Structure 1
Amino acid sequence: MGYSYRDAGVDIQAGNEVVERIKPAVARTLRPEVLGGLGGFGGLFKLDLAKYPNPVLVSGTDGVGTKLRLAFQMNKHDSIGQDAVAMCVNDILVQGAEPLYFLDYLAVGKVEPKRLAEVIGGIAGGCEMAGCALIGGETAEMPGFYAEDEYDIAGFSVGVVNEDKLIDGSKIQAGDTLIGLPSSGLHSNGYSLARKIFESYSLDEEFPELGESLGEALLRPTRIYVKSILLLLSDAEILGMAHITGGGLTDNVPRILPAGLGIRINTSAWKRPPIFSLLQRLGDVAWSEMYRTFNMGIGYVLIVRSEAEGLVRQKLDELGEKSFVIGSVVTGEGVAYEDGNTGIRSWE
């Protein structure tokens, strides 16, 4: 008897089992605009033109990066999918867009239905948090390319905003206020450096300042800010927003500023999660490198007129969101960091 596809390492039946396992989780993400069900060649979504008469589609794509290595080491796969969703939907939210739907791509060495159902369950959970539908995806079994117990995950989201509500930062002026929303930890950036620093430590190790194991602190999923921010946008004028990913506050906030403007950040305005101080101490990392690599406890930034700060923070509080006034827009390009103990240091 000749070879079969299964002999080559690809199990079609196992792939079909994954689809059956994930159907309930996917069903929980569906919106009224979704047409058809899971399993078609393409996902169908009928845009509501009554709600969006002048639509601008906004799309974003991303992966999880080397944070995946921690999921493999801990054999914990139920939250990593949220990271993939968060990295996409938080990005398109910056321009005022409501995420409509998400598609994922999973490449695996071997289809293990239970493990993949956990991963996709995390994706579906992230979509529920963002209010977007999981309308499709692809699982590619690639024996010999990935190890049997490894996988990679990526995805993309499409959102929509009416053209007159598009947020592009063009109205930002010197004197405007920066409001920061807290992160849950590292989110999904800086893990190559973090893993380098912690390579000689066990993920089960307990550090007193963390109050949990190192692995738990590092694997905590990225926060999704969508629902709170969309509700805020209906009540307050937001001039610009930034999702704090790779590049940290140093690189991400200036991306939305008009030419000739910079920011001054007061690093004592919020309390950093202890994982960042631990990273800095054990790795002897320069603070400039820390702020360029990690979010340092601020996952999302809003820019508003200074006189609107009180109203915006009140609305955020009503929505259950903590917030901090973390700085201001200034004349001149670059980023200056101010700390009560060290004074102002410009790292740009």
Structure 2
Amino acid sequence: MGKKGILERLRAGVVVGDGSFCFVLEKRGYVLGGPYTPEAVVEHPEAVRQLHREYLRAGADVMQTNTFYSSDDKLNHRGREIGKTITCKDINNAASRLACEVAAEGDALVAGSVSQVPSYKEGKDKDHCQKEYAKQLITFTEHKVDFIICEFFQNCEEIEWAIEESKKSGLPVAASMCIGEKGDEKGTSLGECAVRMALAGADVVGLNCMFDPKMSLVNMRVMKAALDRVGLSPFLMTQPNCFWTTGCGEQGWVECPEYPFAMETRLLNRFDVQKYAREAYDLGVRYIGGCCGFEPYHVRAIAEELAKEHGGMLPPASEKHDIKALAFSANPYVNVRANKEYWQNIIPHSGRNQPPTYDITKKK
């Protein structure tokens, strides 16, 4: 008997997504910050394979191919020209093999990941852009991935084009945009974006990256209300980033002065993530994962918080995670923290007394 598909799982309960690849692998020394293209799947497959395994062990139901920004026009963008030695097809083949290999070690599905292409912002037409998506999709279908995720789109028109092309694969399609309360880059509202994604054929609709979970869920409420008003009911998904984006602008975390190399002091802890998972579920979101900054222990927090809704099983990684074990510590200051209430109510300190750096990139 084969594995249950993504839509069957969503109908039955919650699906736990995985976390960050490009951002986490940059920290580990495998990805170049700035372009954030995924050639690591070719150059360092062992690092990508290990990260997939960590997400699987943490409780993720989906192994998303590490193919963010994997399009030939992006690989050659702004004169970088890595695409002359490593092509989109090379990356997507390697990424699909790795994701399929690790997914087969558990009960996970594989999602082929399609993201925005520079060609769209350069003014290229629909046919040109869809050919860029098609190059990625043909590799995913050859590797028999289980469904497609169109993610990190900033323009509603472009994600409509990506959804339409992805539906030609015959696979279920999830679609998520990286936009804030003001909508997409052309001023299309959150609600209209949600409705148009669903009408374009997306089986799952939501938001990913750019903003923290709290901001993302505020925006998801707006999207859900718009879908409800017109009688559309796709499944909902959220994969926010894992950094508090308080004080940021329309572009989210990229406007934080700490972006991208000093974001650690804004990082959510595992208990913040548990609160996010519960709030998302209560809102009606059924595909709950993370984007940039989400590491395996954050994904484990989702799986632990929603264990009852997720079939009543804790992930294997929880075998080594028990708050009560702090009582075994020889340090009396630690012993008293061996209870869930302490950690659920703690407000972390940054440990710094200096005021934060003023962002000199912003105009006065």
TM-score by length of 2: 0.23
Q: Hey, which of these two has a bigger chunk of helix by percent?
A: 2
- For the pair shown, which has the larger CA radius of gyration, 1 or 2? 1
